[in-house]
Amino acid sequence: MEKQTITIYDVAREANVSMATVSRVVNGNPNVKPATRKKVLEVIDKLDYRPNAVARGLASKKTTTVGVIIPDVTNMFFSSLARGIDDVATMYKYNIILANSDENSQKEVQVLNTLLAKQVDGLIYMGNDISDSIRQEFSRSKTPIVLAGSVDPDEQVGSVNIDYVAAVEAATTQLINSGSKQVALVTGQLAQPINGQYRLKGYKQALQKAGLPYDESLVFESETSYHAGLALFAQLQKAGATAAVVGDDEVAVGILDGALDAGVKVPDDFEIITSNNTKLTEMARPQLTSIDQPLYDIGAVAMRLLTKMMNKEDIDAKTIRLGFDITTRKSTR
Amino acid sequence: MEKQTITIYDVAREANVSMATVSRVVNGNPNVKPATRKKVLEVIDKLDYRPNAVARGLASKKTTTVGVIIPDVTNMFFSSLARGIDDVATMYKYNIILANSDENSQKEVQVLNTLLAKQVDGLIYMGNDISDSIRQEFSRSKTPIVLAGSVDPDEQVGSVNIDYVAAVEAATTQLINSGSKQVALVTGQLAQPINGQYRLKGYKQALQKAGLPYDESLVFESETSYHAGLALFAQLQKAGATAAVVGDDEVAVGILDGALDAGVKVPDDFEIITSNNTKLTEMARPQLTSIDQPLYDIGAVAMRLLTKMMNKEDIDAKTIRLGFDITTRKSTR
DNA sequence: AAAATTCAGTAAAACGCTTGCATTGCTGAT
DNA sequence: ATCAGCAATGCAAGCGTTTTACTGAATTTT
């Protein structure tokens, strides 16, 4: 009752050829006579032979596996990206090792290392922040890496994202134009480039172009959760905000529900534009107006870029910026 | 400018020991003199040596990797399970290869095979249905498999779930007791055991115990999507339903919004109990009453069970049934 | 018809590690 | 001293592929 795996060697013997020949037909190498190929394929089928990918990986130094570091699969924003990644990966015959990091830089480094130990051919990193420790690991490794839905100010690695500055500026402007003069910005930690350097910048630009003063008390750092948003509405109200540009859909739904629970009418008395256009925006009532990042595409394009890098093809640009829209629904006037 | 990976051999030479000894310290084998261990560790550190997991896998026939087949990461129900799986996997030093199947049995078989080719030590399968083709592959393979959040009527493989019959019965009963006499059941394809054999059974039992007749026109097969739910409400209304037990949260939110959009008051004129208690239930307004399956735990326990199987420990029971609750919110009276 | 070229296939060396078995020192008991 | 017993190490045989030479035969060129 042994494992009794059949190896390439068994196939070779049974087909009266050498293992090299079997290897060739398995790998589609053309240097095999059709008759031989046919015979080998028959034997493979008969023996139900399945090449051992681990041995293959050792010999060829390719695992056809890529590592994916994700803050939390449970967050729609990231899972949408992940879905795009996986689909393209599958298309190119790669598999994905998925690891949750909780945006904890220690976990990230740790996970990154086990991924590299597993000899992944490439890596996709998601997360709002690129801590110094992880950045250091990045530059130390020769494995191709691309960021999905995140920004690398240093452009050390590949990345796919949208123009966050422009997006937030557009959203803010739309709110200002509809008559809301007290527009708040709700985002993640300002220390993270995507929030502090990009979103905040877009927000300020919009204010400036509208000739409005920048008021720090209208900028809110929030955790990425529904409950955080729910609790935040009171503060928003206290600060006199009449509208908000929100960085995360869950938080936005929280704010919306907070408003509703407080008897504030949306969009009549309070307007909201959120940022990720996940399914949540449609599920909420009223439905949420949102910056429309092509989440699935960001993931897909990131993976596609990675395949090119793994293939050592020439890359036009390490950083790919996808377009965005604003999908107007019912949380704005 | 070669890859120039440092191998166990380099470490051995540098530390003046054999590779076997290095291997021992790397693997925490106690048969090493502390002094030697220390020296080896120093060299490892100095050379920045990182064991090649692929080679390790080939030699030891263990990859410390498990395959996870998931219908769609983007669905909260499954991503919640996945999160539980990943967390305990990490805890036990396993990594996860995640593959989306879209519940397409052809894709499932295909994915299963590449996973096995990659020599995963175990497999977790999620999905409502276990097609014959996949079941066949299951029984053919010696790799431990466990189902998470799904039911295997044949108990061929391990599985972790809740008692769906009892859960739906309880939900239906609660609805009946609150005065709703026309309770509908909205679920996935009845051809799938979890829906047809379990949920429907629970539904019928509740009716029967309440002395109500079973009316086929109150049972709805629905796709698993928000939009399907949204569209379904009209039919529900036409069929005269005054309440519904729904099998999926997205669908439930759809029905809820459908009702709201049609000006029907929930819960006054229509009650809803959904099944998965994902975050969505809290985000909806009114918040949804739900069967409370411990999603994260189901995933976690499934993975734990799998570790035991991979470890060839004795298992008390292949099938683990977790408890459930009904969390009452605002979509019921 | 000899030489050059292509084609199919073979043999065997990696790939980087684990592990069973053998070996070497020691230690304490005889 | 001698030796059993044990701890600490080394040796080398795999693990299942890919891949690099290399060989002989068949085909083409000159």
pLDDT in tens, B51-97: 999 999 999 999 999 999 999 999 999 999 999 999 999 999 999 99
In this structure, the strands spanning A95-100 and A65-70 are parallel
The CA-CA-CA angle for residues B70, B76, B81, to 5°, reads: 55
3-class secondary structure, A15: helix
Model pLDDT for residues A87-142, shown as the tens digit of each residue: 999 999 999 999 999 999 999 999 999 999 999 999 999 998 888 899 999 998 99
Q: Which of B243, B233, B265, B237 has its CA nearest to residue B176? A: B243
Is the C-alpha dihedral spanning B184, B188, B190, B194 positive or negative? negative
DSSP per residue, B145-164: EEEES---TT--SEEEEE-H
Q: Are B83 and A74 in contact (CB under 8 A)?
A: yes
Model pLDDT for residues A177-236, shown as the tens digit of each residue: 998 779 999 999 999 989 988 999 999 999 999 999 999 999 999 999 999 999 999 999
How many residues are given for chain B?
333
pTM: 0.93
Q: Which of A54, A76, A91 to mutate to test the interface with B (most CBs of B within 10 A)?
A: A54
Which nucleotide is nearest, taking the CA of residue A35 and each C1'?
C8
Tokens representing A37? Answer: 């190929």
Model pLDDT for residues B213-239, shown as the tens digit of each residue: 999 999 999 999 999 999 999 999 999
Terminal alpha carbon distance of chain B: 71
Tokens representing A153? Answer: 């100010």
In which band, very low, low, confident or very high, does the pLDDT at A4 lie, cut at 50, 70 and 90? Answer: low
Residue A2 confidence (pLDDT) above 60: no
C-alpha–C-alpha distance, residues B333 and B329, integer Å: 9
In this structure, the strands spanning B289-292 and B158-162 are unpaired
Work out the average pLDDT over B258-285: 94
DSSP per residue, A199-246: IHHHHHHHHHHTTPPP-GGGEEE--SSHHHHHHHHHHHHHTT-SEEEE
Nearest-by-CA chain B residue for A3:
B142
Backbone angles phi, psi at A148, to 5 degrees: -115, 120
**CB pairs < 8 Å spanning A and B:** 133
Q: Which of residues 54-113 of B touch strand D (CB under 7 A)?
A: 55, 58-59, 61
**Residues sharing a CB contact under 8 Å with residue B13, sequence separation 6 or more, in sequence order:** none
pLDDT confidence of residue B321? 96
Model pLDDT for residues B284-321, shown as the tens digit of each residue: 999 999 999 999 999 999 999 999 999 999 888 899 99
Q: Are B97 and A100 inside 8 Å of each other by CB?
A: no
